[in-house]
Amino acid sequence: MTTSFLLIVQIILVILIVIAVLLQKSSSIGLGAYSGSNESVFGAKGPNSFLAKATFTIGFLFVVNTITLGYMFSQAKQESVVDEMVESTNVVAPAAPIEIPTTTQESTK
């Protein structure tokens, strides 16, 4: 239950970090051109410092969530796949094959 919730959070964080990176200004502007004039909402410097802080925060949450998922998956599975294979190969073989007598009828002329 917890791991499935963290996987959903991981997907949401990936989507958010991609959006935050694409909205930042670059040399070719990118998707930042579609953000419009947000200077009044984000302050005098514009959305650049806000997006940088948001990207850092989302990235930090992504790393923490990834480490948590790795720890939880490693704790959930302590035994090796090879151990399971060895346990499943301890099958008793049948004693001996059963011979069925065959009868042949010869036709006489």
**Which residue positions in the chain have pLDDT lower than 50?**
37-39
pLDDT of residue 38: 46
* CA atoms of 78 and 72, how far apart (whole Å): 11
Give the whole-angstrom CA distance, residue 20 versus residue 7. Answer: 20
Residues in the chain: 109
pTM passes above 0.75: no
Crossing angle between the packed helical segments 2-23 and 47-76, to the nearest 10 degrees: 150
Map out the domains of the chain as residue ranges: 48-77
Check residue 36 and give left, alpha or beta (phi > 0: left; psi -120 to 50: alpha).
left
Predicted pLDDT of residue 83 = 65
If DSSP states are collapsed to H, E and C, what string results for 36-65?
Answer: CCCHHHHCCCCHHHHHHHHHHHHHHHHHHH
Q: Classify 40 in phi/psi space as left (phi over 0), alpha (psi -120 to 50) or beta.
A: alpha
